[in-house]
Structure 1
């Protein structure tokens, strides 16, 4: 458990912000939110709302904000557990982490849309991005109780954080795998371009990010 008062205060405010975001979503989009929370168990949300995608979607925007906050909290907890940080720099570090995560994801999505247009993969990538972003946003929901437990109940250990990270990765990977399974025939028709897309925009950015972080 993170017992330092400075940590608890800022993390409590951020967790309350996440809960407020979910409350707003539930009030504004009750049916859609209900479908979204069951995204792991059925494809209803993806089928219904995937057909009517918008570039700027309020529902997805709120969920994305919640995801950024959740990832920032989890990242700081992980960084503190592995390397230790000064509580004086917590607010600034949280802000930088949240902004960095948000910019990284947004730029990646924009580049993916651009490349998909260049490679004539719009029909495949459009739904792929929607499903991938939806599963990412679902991780944001999972991070609320996970972060709360790490802050107030358990003492974060390296092995525990690695296990949680693997679970989150598996949940995200399941979503991507299900997309591949549903669209296998369509992907086969563009297999070369799709492999090029995966290597360029799904693998390379994370390799570069990992190398950047490990050299800091």
Structure 2
């Protein structure tokens, strides 16, 4: 009974967070003339990425900023579900700590990447990569929010489902990273050594450390 009460109490604030995320997407749609379906077309086509990068479309920023926020929240909710157990006493404070850690991790990595790109003179390359990666993340946030809903409301007690879905989410995130770097392969060759240094130091090592922190 206590475990059921704790789960119900947890779902109260989780429901508010999910509702807030969905409301934010709806508000973003009201402040732009760009259809949400066109923004989400980055799942299957690079056309929107190209036209938004060269300035032909500049009304996507509300989707992008809100999507990036939801991306961080969704990742944090997935991590919270992975570390939460019926015997543990984790709550909103623990989620805030996870969200703070994830946000600090992404922000720190972003600005450290900028610094390295400036020192190694591949600013334009990193700007292009960040633009594409942020669009992928913002679009992916919608899918991740659906995943979160399934994890918390459809299969809340199925550990195997939670692990499989978390693994699939990790694979999808890896794939979009791969696509971003593959699309910039020609530009990468001009600064190959420094880019490999950036890749190892800021794209691979941090995620390995984060994985070790979560699993320990």
Q: Which TM-score bucket, shorter chain as reference?
A: 0.7 to 0.9
Structure 1 portions without partners, runs of 5+: none
Alpha-carbon distance in structure 2 between the residues aligned to 1:213 and 1:145? 22
Q: Using a 3 Å threshold, how does the CA distance of structure 1 residues 144 and 44 change in structure 2: closer, same or farther? A: same
- Per the alignment, residue 67 of structure 1 pairs with 71
Tell me the TM-score normalised to structure 2 length: 0.85
Q: Using a 3 Å threshold, how does the CA distance of structure 1 residues 65 and 185 change in structure 2: closer, same or farther? A: closer
Alpha-carbon distance in structure 2 between the residues aligned to 1:213 and 1:94? 13
**8 Å CA contact retained: 1:69, 1:98:** yes
Give the aligned CA root-mean-square deviation in angstroms.
2.4
Q: Deviations over 1:103-133 (max 9, x none)?
A: 1111111111111111111121111112222
Alpha-carbon distance in structure 2 between the residues aligned to 1:186 and 1:39? 21
Alpha-carbon distance in structure 2 between the residues aligned to 1:30 and 1:93? 38
Alpha-carbon distance in structure 1 between the residues aligned to 2:213 and 2:151? 26
Q: Using a 3 Å threshold, how does the CA distance of structure 1 residues 179 and 206 change in structure 2: closer, same or farther? A: closer
**8 Å CA contact retained: 1:78, 1:161:** yes
- Per the alignment, residue 5 of structure 1 pairs with 8
Alpha-carbon distance in structure 2 between the residues aligned to 1:37 and 1:123? 25
Tell me the TM-score normalised to structure 1 length: 0.85
Q: Deviations over 1:66-118 (max 9, x none)?
A: 1222222211111114x8521xx401111111121111111111111111111
Q: Deviations over 1:162-203 (max 9, x none)?
A: 321232223223323223333222211221111111001001
